[in-house]
Chains A and B, each alone.
Chain A
Amino acid sequence: MTFLDRTTDARKFRHWPGNVEADYIYTSGVAGERFFVALRDEGRMLASRCTACHLDYLPPRMFCEDCFAELTEYLDVPKTGRVAAITAAHIDRTGAQLSHPQVWAFVTFEGIRGGLVHRLLTPPDQARAGTAVRAKLKPRDARTGTIADIEGFEPVRSRF
């Protein structure tokens, strides 16, 4: 066997199975706690403000990565955001075909640094950058204080 021979079946050789069994519990941290509790309890999305740099961070951070001030002021992110970039996934991360393509979007908000990557709740052929969108939240009872409390973003429909 040399490196020039290629095998695609690792189990052809004598081998030892192994796994790194590790489970984790994460804290959402000081800023994360504010964000997720407001999302769960009040359906609000918060950013944190650096008054020195005139920046609002989404997701909120406890500190300004630039001037290194501690950030304690929180404000609401505008309800309507805009799709900055999209993709449609056709296979999942194991390589299996998805039954329907999943649309993912990077959503930004006027005057806010950063943004959110989340599901875009439109068919792939209607997904495009520049679309005005709003977060669709799960009902209050179903929200647990995680990023999945947001089901995704959907296009803002004209009311008239």
Chain B
Amino acid sequence: MTKVGVIGAGMTLFRRRLEETGKELCFEATKMALDSAGLTRGDVDMVVCGTAPDAFDGVAMKGEYLLDGSGGYRKPYTRVFTGGGTGVFSTIAGWWHVASGLADVVLVVNEEKMSSCQPHPQSVFAHIWDPILDRPLKPNLVWIFAMEMNRYMTVYGVKKEDIARVAVKNKRNAVGHPCAQLADPNITVDDVLNSEVMAWPVQRLDISPPSDGASAVVLASEDFIRKRRIKDRAWISGVGWCIDSTMWTDRDLVFPEYVARAAKHAYKMAKIDEPRRQIDFAEPYDPFDYKELHHLEGLLLADKGEAPILTREGVTERDGKMPVCPSGGLLGVGNPIAATMGMKIGELFWQLTGQAGKRQIPHEVHTGVSQAWGDLMQYGSVVVMRG
């Protein structure tokens, strides 16, 4: 298998509503990623576009719609979609284009323009449910997260303030992110605990709201990287993805088995048998504060029920022993579903090549893991990268 490196990344501002069309957002992120890799569109062999339900942008066949902005004109081009999992999965799809030897250079472009959907994207989220069993009850997506969060709290005796610490950490980490929508240098645990209750125990500041934005990364084969003498590269050393039962009621609400299976696959490829020792930092998917904790345990970077304790002890702070979401994550930077690739794959690239600026982890890091979560809340995608 051909060794694959990430050689460039770019992302737009994340905002509640941006003037640019989805295509234009893709162009801005793609151009930035190509420029940072020192390449032009002519160097690109194939393009992968990642974007979540068409219903957010309000354009049927969104992959086709975004192709010109994504650099796909007259090239082999595919849209992939695994819900929120697309944030990491599209890079896995890009990886196999190169790892298979089919392409030397692949662009991966992710986009979401959720502000088009009125009055709120929640109205189309309502239709991911089973049309006969669930939808007649008019479920709200937050109910399900609330029950999962509550189950996690109940089983391990986790306090809400320890979960709120994740939101505080990530919103503070995002202060150094040029694209951030939700950075707040002064936020406190009390702010989170006093925010509006949406569906107990989920409160307003436990959640990352919808955004508009796009991100892009450039992948290349080892050969290409050597021939072009590209210095800033981070190698993709493991990939994994997994989906759990389609029935929400048939899953373990306390432990994300789908993440653990995806992680084990990625770790095996990357020859990691002691993840806590061999992985230096992590970018797990954090659209909710409790999900960062959930996912850290799924990634085997914390024992079951231990992630809140690590958080309380400061282990997951940027200058801690295992920095988690140094980008600011979805809670701090924003949540344009698939475009969160900028904080997952993009951040790994920037951290591992020393380009994270104010967000740079102060100690040396060699190996990072990123993970996204999606489909009907049971999909995990994992990528391990090395400097």
Query: Residues of A contacting B27 with CB < 8 Å?
Result: 62-63, 68, 70
Instruction: Verify if B20 is at the interface (C-beta below 8 Å from A).
Output: yes
Closest to A67 in B: B41
Given contacts A20-B55, A24-B117, contact A63 B136 (CB under 8 A): no
CB distance from B29 to the nearest CB of A (A): 12
Q: Which size class do A's interface residues fall under?
A: 20 to 34
Asked if B21 contacts A21 (CB within 8 A), the reply is no
Instruction: Verify if A25 is at the interface (C-beta below 8 Å from B).
Output: yes
CB distance from A140 to the nearest CB of B (A): 25
Asked if A29 contacts B136 (CB within 8 A), the reply is no
Instruction: Verify if A16 is at the interface (C-beta below 8 Å from B).
Output: yes
Instruction: Verify if A65 is at the interface (C-beta below 8 Å from B).
Output: yes
Contact of B123 among A21, A26, A61 (CB under 8 A): A21
Instruction: Verify if A95 is at the interface (C-beta below 8 Å from B).
Output: no
CB distance from A125 to the nearest CB of B (A): 35
Complex CA gap A43/B286 in Å reads 49
Instruction: Verify if A66 is at the interface (C-beta below 8 Å from B).
Output: yes
Could you tell me how many residues of chain B have their Cβ less than 8 Å away from some Cβ of chain A?
A: 32
Among the 9-residue stretches B68-76, B200-208, B349-357, B379-387, the one with 4 or more Cβ atoms under 8 Å from chain A is B68-76
Cβ proximity bits A62-104 to B, threshold 8 Å, 1 near / 0 not: 1101111010000000000000000000000000000000000
Asked if B24 contacts A63 (CB within 8 A), the reply is yes
Complex CA gap A65/B74 in Å reads 9
Complex CA gap A24/B31 in Å reads 28
CB distance from A48 to the nearest CB of B (A): 12
Asked if A28 contacts B124 (CB within 8 A), the reply is no
How many residue pairs, one in A and one in B, have C-beta atoms under 8 Å apart? Answer: 75
Complex CA gap A28/B21 in Å reads 6
Closest to B118 in A: A23
Instruction: Verify if A32 is at the interface (C-beta below 8 Å from B).
Output: yes
Cβ proximity bits A1-38 to B, threshold 8 Å, 1 near / 0 not: 00000000000000010101111111111111100000
Given contacts A16-B136, A66-B73, A68-B40, contact A23 B30 (CB under 8 A): no
Contact of B116 among A18, A24, A67 (CB under 8 A): A24
Complex CA gap A16/B69 in Å reads 40
Query: Residues of A contacting B19 with CB < 8 Å?
Result: 27, 29-30, 33
Asked if B30 contacts A68 (CB within 8 A), the reply is yes
**A-contacting residues, B25-52, CB 8 Å:** 27, 30-31, 34, 40-42
Contact of B68 among A18, A27, A29, A61 (CB under 8 A): A61
Query: Residues of A contacting B119 with CB < 8 Å?
Result: 23
Asked if A27 contacts B21 (CB within 8 A), the reply is yes
Closest to B41 in A: A68
Query: Residues of B contacting A68 with CB < 8 Å?
Result: 27, 30-31, 34, 40-41, 71
**A-contacting residues, B150-203, CB 8 Å:** none
Interface residues of B (CB under 8 A from A): 17-21, 23-24, 27, 30-31, 34, 40-42, 55, 58, 68-69, 71, 73, 115-119, 123-124, 127, 131-132, 135-136
Additional A-B contacts beyond A22-B123, A23-B118, A29-B23 (5; CB < 8 A): A16-B136, A18-B135, A25-B118, A30-B20, A63-B24
Interface residues of A (CB under 8 A from B): 16, 18, 20-33, 61-63, 65-68, 70
The 6 closest A-B pairs by CB, nearest first: A29-B21, A24-B58, A65-B68, A68-B41, A65-B73, A63-B27
8 residue pairs bridging A and B, Cβ less than 8 Å apart: A16-B135, A16-B136, A18-B135, A22-B117, A26-B58, A27-B17, A28-B21, A61-B23
